[in-house]
């Protein structure tokens, strides 16, 4: 979306006469259906912004030179970068509470509070980074700036673990209280930690949309960009798997400095590869603050709240739209039905040149705000879905701890390792998703992309219902075996629920990445992509709230008793199954009523329709 409305370009409007509005004469109807060229001080800036949007949407580079041809080099570098970055980040995040307890000797409450605070910061910072990427720096520069913070943080983290004076003495007898780290030692560690958090925020917000924008917007080959989202998702989880197995083992059994150093080395290689690939990239610059454009549309709609969108004789009001006579035409947003109150922001009630930028917006700008309003309810269901998925790392692990972890007689399976195994299941689901399911859906539906993004998100929400129901049935059988004297169930019974969760995450996780990127207005792709991380963060808070309420309502011993054999974890799983079913039904209603973004193939006359709802 552009900045202010104004001249320096023509404005194409719908046929018909505008009626008297909030205080101005009727705009005389012209045979051409075009309003006179507006003029004004802010108009040149808006024209340049629109031209930049055109260049950005068509894959042009910063300088507006000819569009670069698509090559696989850019996306491959981005995928390798994400894999190595995921190893570096997960190597810190997965073992953070262990490091605080065993190395810095923090108390249980201290460790839990600081881990939660850091996690919350890590998932909120991407929203800030996305705003900077979309409004000022651009995605490429945001990633470069984030790399600097990221590297400094990881290097300082490795140094703090390697230098003895920056950590407490490790000689501490088991069962005896240990002297905690000094203020200086804690300060160095947390400075490194939050520098890393700032760096990862910029990378998480900008890297995905940057990689996606390396592709052509080819309607005949949507599978190429769709495959990129799948492999980006796989790169994240493969990095988590490597960090959760190899790096975590090295940190806890060999040396924390070695583990952090491996993560630092991985990210350093990723940074070098990203910078070296600069000549291959399509670098696209922002066109101004999208937040300002959103506020402009809302302010203009409020100012014109008394304007009627058609006259008594049925003639439609003129609507304002840019006409750049250039590349931007094919990427202009078409007017959609619904949310008619926002359409008033584009209604011309006086001559266009007399309208200020806070009184008149383009149809494309109005449609951008409509998109955000329509995506918000879908995003709310993403929060509840993330909360349901969160059972995998909490109650599923607790359930496994109460089961027989022996396989093959003597071999014991670490309970938490099933989360890492789930990542393997996810990678298998990614291959199945791309190699079999989507091609089959493509043949059945005749659509190039097979299932739509909304349909795949629905499949993911359905699979998580099955996973939670399966967990409830397994727990019910486990409790019956315990109380009936038949013994403890094998942990292998948990495999089906982890397989279903993995499939759910693949269908919904990949589709959500595509949805928030693809549906977002061009100037807000980083911000909307960052909403996925915010949904994940809020999902953890919802999960904590439900646990607190269940504990308060069920009293002692309660469903979540310290001894699971005395509790009813199966009831808790059934509760989350019901919540997930309700969320699925809500999502189905919202998805059925959702109006996708519509890109105009060419600038057509804009007319208010009496059939709009």
**Per-residue pLDDT reduced to its tens digit, 257-283:** 999 999 999 999 999 999 998 888 888
Q: Which parts of 303-399 are beta strand (E)?
A: 322-323
Nearest-angstrom CA–CA distance, 350 and 27 = 5
pLDDT digits (tens, 9 = 90+) for 179-235: 777 888 888 999 999 999 889 888 888 888 888 888 766 554 656 777 788 788 888
Whether residues 83 and 223 fall in one domain: yes
The pLDDT value given to residue 416: 63
Tokens at 63, concatenated: 């300088």
Top-confidence residue, 83 or 66: 83
- Of 511, 563, 533, give the one whose Cα is nearest residue 401: 563
Whether residues 345 and 374 fall in one domain: no
Confidence of residue 546 (pLDDT cuts 50, 70, 90): confident
Check whether 604 has a pLDDT greater than 50: no
Q: Is residue 21 part of a domain?
A: no
**CB neighbour list of residue 589: distance below 8 Å, 6 or more residues apart:** none
Which three-class secondary structure state does DSSP give residue 128? helix
Residue 479: which domain range? 364-597
Nearest-angstrom CA–CA distance, 264 and 267 = 5
The pLDDT value given to residue 23: 35
What pairs with residue 313 in β-bridges? Answer: none
Q: Is residue 607 part of a domain?
A: no
Chain center to CA of 74? 21
Whether residues 487 and 590 fall in one domain: yes
Top-confidence residue, 128 or 222: 128
Q: Is residue 42 part of a domain?
A: no
Whether residues 390 and 457 fall in one domain: yes
Whether residues 210 and 310 fall in one domain: no
The pLDDT value given to residue 590: 94
Chain center to CA of 345? 29
Whether residues 138 and 204 fall in one domain: yes
- Of 497, 479, 501, 498, give the one whose Cα is nearest residue 488: 479
Q: Which residue has the tokens 């090559």?
A: 71
Q: Is residue 132 part of a domain?
A: yes
Mean pLDDT is highest, among 31-40, 165-174, 391-400, 403-412, for 391-400
Phi-psi region of 424 (alpha: psi -120 to 50; beta: other; left: phi over 0): alpha
Whether residues 575 and 500 fall in one domain: yes
CB 213 within 8 A of CB 139: yes
Q: Is residue 328 part of a domain?
A: no
CB atoms < 10 A from the CB of 182, how many?
Answer: 14
For the chain, how many helices (H) and strands (E)? Answer: 19, 5
Nearest-angstrom CA–CA distance, 34 and 31 = 8
Check whether 239 has a pLDDT greater than 60: yes
Whether residues 353 and 213 fall in one domain: no
Q: Is residue 273 part of a domain?
A: yes
**CB neighbour list of residue 271: distance below 8 Å, 6 or more residues apart:** 81, 147, 150, 151
Nearest-angstrom CA–CA distance, 208 and 514 = 10
C-alpha gyration radius of the chain: 27
Considering its fold, how many domains does the chain have in total?
A: 3
Classify residue 19 by its DSSP letter: P
Q: 94-108, 317-331, 340-354: which range is least confident on average? A: 317-331
Cα pseudo-dihedral 143, 145, 149, 154, rounded to 10: 40
Q: Is residue 13 part of a domain?
A: no
What pairs with residue 322 in β-bridges? Answer: 11
- Of 220, 278, 313, give the one whose Cα is nearest residue 61: 278
Q: Which residue has the tokens 């008033």?
A: 344
Whether residues 192 and 293 fall in one domain: no
pLDDT digits (tens, 9 = 90+) for 467-517: 999 999 999 999 888 877 777 888 888 889 999 998 998 888 888 888 888
Q: Which parts of 387-531 are beta strand (E)?
A: 406-407, 411-412
The pLDDT value given to residue 429: 87
Q: What is the CATH number of the domain that holds 276?
A: 1.20.1250.20
Q: Is residue 38 part of a domain?
A: no
Classify residue 279 by its DSSP letter: G
Nearest-angstrom CA–CA distance, 545 and 525 = 31
Whether residues 386 and 502 fall in one domain: yes
Task: Provide mean pLDDT across the span 125-145.
Answer: 83
Whether residues 579 and 501 fall in one domain: yes
The pLDDT value given to residue 313: 55
How does 199-229 read in b/e, with b if 16+ C-beta sit within 10 Å? bbbbbbbbbbbbbbbbbeeeeeebbebbbbb
Whether residues 357 and 368 fall in one domain: no
Mean pLDDT is highest, among 161-165, 478-482, 511-515, 583-587, for 583-587
CB atoms < 10 A from the CB of 560, how many?
Answer: 17
């Amino acid at each position: 979306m552009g900045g202010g409305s104004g001249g320096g370009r023509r404005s194409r409007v719908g046929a018909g006469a505008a009626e008297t509005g909030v205080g101005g004469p009727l705009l005389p109807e012209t045979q051409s259906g075009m309003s006179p060229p507006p003029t004004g001080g802010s108009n040149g800036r808006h024209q340049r912004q629109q031209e930049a949007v055109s260049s950005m949407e068509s894959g042009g580079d910063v300088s507006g030179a000819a569009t670069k041809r698509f090559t696989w080099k850019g996306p491959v570098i981005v995928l390798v970068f994400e894999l190595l970055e995921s190893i570096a980040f997960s190597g810190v995040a997965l073992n953070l509470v262990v490091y605080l307890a065993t190395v810095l000797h923090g108390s249980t409450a201290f460790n839990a509070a600081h881990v939660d605070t850091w996690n919350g910061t890590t998932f909120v910072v991407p929203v800030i980074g996305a705003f900077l990427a979309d409004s000022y720096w651009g995605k490429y520069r945001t990633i470069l700036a984030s790399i600097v913070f990221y590297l400094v943080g990881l290097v300082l983290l490795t140094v703090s673990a390697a230098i003895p004076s920056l950590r407490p003495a490790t000689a501490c007898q088991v069962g005896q209280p240990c002297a905690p780290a000094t203020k200086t030692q804690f300060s160095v560690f947390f400075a490194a930690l939050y520098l890393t958090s700032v760096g990862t925020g910029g990378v998480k917000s900008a890297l995905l949309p940057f990689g996606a924008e390396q592709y052509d917007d080819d309607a005949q080959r949507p599978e190429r960009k769709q495959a990129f989202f799948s492999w980006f998702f796989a790169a994240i989880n493969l990095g988590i798997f490597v960090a959760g197995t190899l790096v975590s083992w090295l940190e806890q059994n060999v040396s924390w400095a070695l583990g952090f150093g491996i993560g630092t080395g991985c990210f350093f290689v990723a940074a070098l590869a990203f910078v070296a690939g600069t000549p291959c990239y399509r670098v696209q610059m922002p066109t101004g603050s999208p937040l300002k454009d959103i506020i402009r549309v809302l302010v203009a709609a409020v100012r014109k709240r008394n304007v009627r969108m058609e006259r008594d004789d049925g003639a439609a009001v003129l609507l304002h739209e840019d006409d750049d006579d250039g590349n931007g035409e094919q990427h202009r947003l078409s007017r959609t039905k619904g949310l008619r109150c926002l359409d008033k922001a584009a209604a011309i009630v006086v001559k266009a040149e007399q309208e200020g930028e806070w009184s008149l917006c383009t149809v494309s700008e109005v449609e951008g705000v409509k998109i955000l309003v329509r995506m918000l309810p879908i995003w709310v269901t993403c929060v509840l879905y993330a909360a349901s998925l969160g059972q995998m790392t909490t109650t599923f692990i607790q359930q496994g701890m109460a089961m027989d972890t022996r396989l093959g007689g003597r071999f014991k399976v670490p309970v938490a390792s099933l989360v890492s195994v789930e990542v393997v299941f996810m990678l298998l689901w990614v291959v199945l998703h791309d190699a079999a399911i989507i091609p089959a859906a493509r043949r059945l539906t005749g659509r190039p992309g097979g299932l739509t993004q909304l349909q795949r998100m629905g499949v993911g929400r359905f699979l998580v219902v099955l996973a939670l129901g399966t967990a409830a049935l397994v727990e019910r059988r486990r409790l019956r075996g315990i109380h009936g004297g038949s013994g403890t169930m094998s942990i292998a019974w948990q495999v089906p629920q982890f397989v279903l969760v993995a499939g759910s995450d693949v269908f919904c996780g990949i589709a959500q990445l595509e949805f928030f990127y693809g549906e977002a207005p061009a100037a807000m792709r980083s911000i909307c992509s960052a909403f996925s991380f915010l949904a994940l963060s809020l999902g953890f808070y919802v999960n904590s709230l439900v646990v607190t309420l269940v504990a308060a309502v069920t009293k002692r011993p309660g469903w979540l008793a310290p001894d699971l054999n005395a509790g009813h974890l199966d009831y808790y799983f059934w509760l989350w199954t019901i919540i997930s079913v309700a969320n699925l039904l809500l999502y189905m209603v919202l998805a059925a009523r959702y109006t996708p973004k519509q890109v105009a193939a060419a600038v057509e006359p804009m007319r208010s329709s009496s059939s709009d709802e």
